[in-house]
Structure formats: structure tokens, C-alpha cells
Amino acid sequence: MQVAAITQEFEAAFARLRGGDAEGAVALCRETLVRSPDSIDLLTLLGASLNSQRLADAALESLQRALEIAPGFARAHEEIGRSLLMLHRVDDAISHFEQALVLSPRTESVERRLAQALLLAGRGEDADLLIEQSFARSPQRKHLLAAAEHQRAGRYRESEPLLREVLAVDADEVNAMRMLARVAEEAGHLDEAERLLRCAVKVKPGFDDAWLNLARVLKDNDQVEEAVKCSAQAALVSPRNPLAHYLHASMLALMWRYEDAIEAYRESIRLRAHNPAAWVGLGNLLKTLGRQEEGIAAYREALNLRPGFGEVWWSLANLKTFNFSDADFAEMEQGLEDATENDDVRVHFLFALGKALEDRGDFDAAFARYAEANSIQRTRVSYDPVLTEVKHDRIRDTFSADVLAAGVKQPADETVPIFIVGLPRSGSTLVEQILASHPLVDGTAELPDVARVIAEISRRQASGGYPEAVTRLSAPELQELGLMYLQRTRRHRSGKPFFTDKMPNNFSSIGLIHLILPQAKIIDARRHPLDSLLGCYKQHFALGQTFTFDQLELGEFYLEYRRIMAHWHAMLPGRVLELRYEDIVREQEAMTRRLLDYCGLPWDSRCLRFHETERAVHTASSEQVRQPLYDSSVNGWRNFRDHLGLMTEVIGPTIEAEGWSVK
């Protein structure tokens, strides 16, 4: 085999090992060694790859063959020392590490491993002397190692002066830049973290870890398009690194480039099949696209790799249409029993078991699981109902009739956003799917862009933020904010004249929407409050919706929602369409016509066949809206009526006055 070809194969195998795919590196080394059995580089790399898999006996066989060919090869001695340490042959390991240092003096990795072996042999003084000698030659290395130890322990501020000392001596030390960026990131200084990481990749363009960190910082700083470019660069400079492809997939998914994201997940899995998180990410995307069977298969593969992966069991339950087998149920029960010390895993299993028991008609046992899950989760989230009430009071006080009358008269853009607001689990995904089935409407998702506009209002004000700051904005400024919203959402749209924004919590921002987007349509998706609140209680929300884990707080939040909606109806009569889920189920065509008329859309019968519309659906109802309309979920709360006493006590009088039954 030609030398150039051997070198190319070696580099490919080394890239796999460096990227975390030791199994792939072993396979490539063995394949090449068939054609070039005496390559000491490949034999040693094979040993190193086997060591990374903790297959010390197999590693020794390859490494000893390398030393037979080249007794003075320092790297082979070092790797044999690693194998012998794993086999608890400490004295033999020390001999090989010492020989490696004779052959290649002052090699940092060998010094570090020899010091470890000396400590295991009870020769602490010798180990300390070796470490001090190494540090004396490179004080910067000592600072970097100390800083890394601080960061591993979460002591980011303590690592900062050490890193700055390193950079004062060597301004191009890219590891110090990357670690200092982590300090800035922890402090919330994302712009500074970005600056440091951009410096690092400029000095060392092939620094894949810095590209990955930069992608994460940009994503956190709401620069998703730039984040995708950086994650793509990480995969480009380190094509054998499964983590790079995994992160790139997650960034592509944020941009809704689903097919590209699926390809990136599959590449990550190809490089490292034993990666349950990548299988879960792949399953989530396939579910979003309606490819349920493929999604389930991906989830199953993740469970094969990690049976106690509670998040995956909940992902299966969260399909809503999936039914667990008896074997699944037994495995979940065992997983719950095994997770006594891990609340996160327990919560996932409890919600999933609740769904499984509910599907079996055992509603009392199901509710017990839901209640336990919520009780645990409530201690893990931060939510203050008093702050919610205060915030809503400030909004009602700010958005008076006079303020609302001063809004923009002429929209900055002819595009018509259709906001679908309300409580979670109130049929908003169904409303969205009906509208997205119309050829003039882009169906998007729960967009965060109204919240970004609110943050921008507060940022611009020297004193006093949102909502009071709205009263100090001129008509041109309000129009600019409307244009900002439309520009931000453009990346999720294909250019149709209408688009949906299904962020439910926008109900508290209706006044602002009216001021900056006079052309907007606003739909309040409603459902029997006990069905909606119970749906929230049974749903394990990954982010946000922190009011959903306690019956009393759920009830109080509902009352706040109704109070603020009453304010909008009083201040903006006729501006908001209230649409009830039960009415859509009972009178589908009439309610669909009412919805389209309100939005200013011509009739289109495809809206009645919404379940045939192929599109990405991001919410927990994704599989449900891919079925024809059904009424089995109407009044589902009655299956749990004996357990909803506290919630009913809080909201009962209000909802009875609105015409809802509590019996």
C-alpha cells in the first residue's frame, strides 16, 4: 500500500478517534492494517482507540506488535502504559511511561499519566516532583489546568484571573480564549463571549470546539442564522466529530431546515451509533414532520442504547396517539423504581406512566402518577403567581382606551399575521392547522418574536420598561416595532400574504399587537376550562408554562387570563375572535367559515380536510391534528372529576357564569 494512502487512512482514523468515535477508528485501523500490517502508526492508533473503549487486553496485543517492529517508538510505550494502568499493573505501566519520557522528553501527556501512576503506586512525592517540574517549564499550562479545574467545578469567576494571566503572556492561546468566553457566557455577557470565540477561530481556524461554542453563544444571543454557519464550520473542519454534526443538526432544526437537520443527525449517528441523544433528536424531527413510524423507530433505538432514558418514554407518550404494550409498561415501572435519586428521570417516567394508565381506563391510578410528577416538578421550577398578577395589573393599567386609540393606522407591511392565543391545550393547534390548510396562509409555530419586541422596548428606554414605556412611543416608533416583528418572522415564512403565530401566552400582549400591527387578526382559542387546565396538568412542558404544576396555581392563572381577556374585549370591542373547540367539533364547517371570514380569507374546502395538510407541527398535538375531527376529547375532565376539587373550587363560579358545566 502506498505511503500517501496509508497516511490518508491514518488521518481519517485519527479524526474519528478525536471526534469521539473510537469504534469507528478501530474499524478503519483494522481495515487498513489488512493491507499494511506493519504500520507502527496504525498499530499504535488501533491500541489507542481500543484503550479509549477500555479494551485494554486487545489494545496490548496491537501495541506490543508495534514495539516489536519499533522498540523506540515513544507513543507505543505511552499507550501500553495506559493499557497496563487499566489492568491494574501499575509498576509495569510506570516502566513504560518512564521509557516513553526517555525517548520523548517533556511530553506533557506522558508526564501527566506517569504522575497518575506514581500516585497509584503510593509514590506521592515522586508524582508531586514530576508535576512541579512540568509546571516550572510552563507556568501557563499550570494556570490553564487550574482554570479548567475551576470551570469543571462551576467556579467560573475563580478561573478568570488565571486565564487572563495566560493571555497576558500569550495573546494567541486559543484554549484560554475559549475558556474565558465560557466565563463571559456564564455572566450573561454574550457579546464578549462571541468576541473571544471569534478571536480563537481566527487564530486557529480548525479549532472545532471553539466553533461549537461560538454556535451555542450565537444561538443564545438570538443569532440563529449565524449559529448555523458556525456549527456548519465545526462539521467542516472536523468531519469525523459526531458532536459537531449533532450540534449542527440541532441548529438546523431551529431554522426549520428539517431535511438538512435529519441528514446531520444521521451523519452524527453514523460516526457514533451509540448516541441516544442523537436518536432522540432524530425522532423528534421525524415526529414534527408527521413521519410517526420512523420517529417511533428512532425513539426505540435510543431506548435500546439506554433503557432507563425517561425522556424517550415521555416522548413516546407525548405522541398522544401511541399505545404502550404490557412490556413497555413493565419497563417503565422498573425505570421509575431504578431512578430513586434522579428527579428529572422520575418526572418523565411518571408523566409517561400516567398517560399509559389513562389509555387503559385506570383514571385514578393515572391521576396519582400525574399528581406525583407535578409535585416533584413544582419544586424544580420558579413561578410566583403574585408576580403574574402584578404584571397583568400593570398591563391593564397601561393599555387604556386612549393609549390603544393612538396606535399605528397604516401597517408597515401588507402581510397579515394571525395570532392564535389562549391557554395551552385549548385547541389552538387545531385552529392553526385549519388556517395552515388555506393556500394563502403560512402555518408557522409558537414564535417568540412578540417577546423580542417587548425586550427591545425595554432596552430602548433609559428608565421604566414595558409595559409603561409603550406610552412614551411615537407612531413612527410603533410602526418600526411592527416592521421589526414582520422582519424577524420572515425566516419562518414562504411569502404568503397571511401567516400564523401560535404563541399562546401572547394573550397578555394583545394591546401591543393592536398598537404596532393594525392589520393583525387575533383569535382566542378556548375550550372547556377544566379540559384545558387538566390538559396542562397532564403535560410535561419542557420550557415555560411554569404555572401548570399545581392545581391551585392553574386555577388562579385561568382567572388572570380571563380578567385580561375581559379587559381587551372592553377596550377593543370586536378586535378579538373567541373560538371554542367544542363548537368546531360540533359545527365544523360553520365555525371554519366564521374563522376564515374573520381573517379576511376566501372560502377553501381544504380547510375542512386539515388532517391531509402536510406540514411541520411543533406542539404536543402534532399527531392529533393529522387525524379527522373527533369528539372523544370533549369533556375528558369528567374521567378525573373526583381529583379536581381544588381546581373546581377556584374557577367553578367563574366558568359556570360563562356557561360551562362543572358536573
Residue 616 falls within a domain, yes or no?
yes
Contact 588, 629 (CB under 8 A): yes
Q: How far is CA 417 from CA 120, 123, 645, in A?
A: 67, 72, 39
The grid coordinates of residue 489 equal 418572522
Convert the pLDDT of each residue in 181-213 to its tens digit: 999 999 999 999 999 999 999 998 888 889 999
Residue 14 falls within a domain, yes or no?
yes
Distance, in Å, from the CA atom of 304 to the CA atom of 312, rounded to the nearest integer, reads 11
Say yes or no to pLDDT of 20 above 80. Answer: no
Residue 7 — pLDDT band, cuts 50, 70, 90?
confident
Say yes or no to pLDDT of 630 above 80. Answer: no
Say yes or no to pLDDT of 128 above 90. Answer: no
Distance, in Å, from the CA atom of 46 to the CA atom of 33, rounded to the nearest integer, reads 9
Q: Write down the pLDDT at residue 523.
A: 98
Q: Write down the pLDDT at residue 15.
A: 82
3 state SS of 357: helix
Q: Write down the pLDDT at residue 146.
A: 83
Q: How far is CA 177 from CA 169, 184, 362, in A?
A: 13, 10, 57
Number of domains in the chain: 2
Distance, in Å, from the CA atom of 352 to the CA atom of 358, rounded to the nearest integer, reads 10
Q: Write down the pLDDT at residue 290.
A: 86
Residue 130 falls within a domain, yes or no?
yes
Q: Write down the pLDDT at residue 136.
A: 59
Quick count: other Cβ atoms within 10 Å of Cβ 597? 12
The region, left, alpha or beta by phi > 0 then psi within -120 to 50, assigned to residue 116 is alpha
Residue 169 falls within a domain, yes or no?
no
Q: Which residues of 156-167 are buried (b: 16+ CB within 10 A; e: fewer)?
A: beebbebbeebb
3 state SS of 501: strand
Helix ranges (H only) for 441-543 are: 449-460, 475-489, 510-516, 529-538
Q: Could you list the residue range(s) of the whole structural domain that residue 34 is in?
A: 1-137
Residue 121 falls within a domain, yes or no?
yes
Q: Which among 137, 167, 187 is the end of a domain?
A: 137
3 state SS of 351: helix
Average pLDDT over residues 614-634: 65
Rounded to the nearest 5 percent, the helix, strand and coil shares of the chain are: 70, 5, 30
Contact 143, 150 (CB under 8 A): no
Residue 240 falls within a domain, yes or no?
no
Global pTM reads 0.76
Lowest mean pLDDT among 172-176, 318-322, 631-635: 631-635
Q: Write down the pLDDT at residue 320.
A: 83
Q: Write down the pLDDT at residue 614.
A: 76
Average pLDDT over residues 127-154: 76
Contact 330, 294 (CB under 8 A): no
Q: Which among 83, 102, 137 is the end of a domain?
A: 137
Q: Write down the pLDDT at residue 409.
A: 83
Distance, in Å, from the CA atom of 6 to the CA atom of 268, rounded to the nearest integer, reads 25
Say yes or no to pLDDT of 647 above 70. Answer: yes
Residue 419 — pLDDT band, cuts 50, 70, 90?
very high
Residue 351 — pLDDT band, cuts 50, 70, 90?
very high
Residue 101 belongs to a domain with what CATH number? 1.25.40.10
Residue 430 falls within a domain, yes or no?
yes
Residue 433 belongs to a domain with what CATH number? 3.40.50.300
Q: Write down the pLDDT at residue 205.
A: 87
Distance, in Å, from the CA atom of 283 to the CA atom of 303, rounded to the nearest integer, reads 12
Helix ranges (H only) for 539-639 are: 551-571, 581-586, 588-599
Average pLDDT over residues 599-611: 94
Helices (H) and strands (E) counted in the chain, each on its own, are: 33, 5
Contact 182, 213 (CB under 8 A): yes
Q: Write down the pLDDT at residue 152.
A: 83
Distance, in Å, from the CA atom of 299 to the CA atom of 305, rounded to the nearest integer, reads 10
Q: Name the most confidently modeled range: 52-56, 397-401, 462-466, 609-613.
A: 397-401
Say yes or no to pLDDT of 527 above 90. Answer: yes
3 state SS of 224: helix
Q: Write down the pLDDT at residue 12.
A: 86
Lowest mean pLDDT among 304-308, 449-453, 502-506: 304-308
What average pLDDT is seen over the chain? 91
What percent of the chain shows pLDDT beyond 70?
96
- What backbone phi and psi angles, to 5 degrees, belong to 66? -65, -40
Q: Write down the pLDDT at residue 265.
A: 96
3 state SS of 421: strand
* Cell 433503557, residue located: 307
- What backbone phi and psi angles, to 5 degrees, belong to 248? -60, -40
Q: Which among 137, 164, 197 is the end of a domain?
A: 137
The grid coordinates of residue 449 equal 418574536
Say yes or no to pLDDT of 445 above 70. Answer: yes
Distance, in Å, from the CA atom of 235 to the CA atom of 264, rounded to the nearest integer, reads 9
Total number of residues shown for the chain:
663
Residue 167 falls within a domain, yes or no?
no
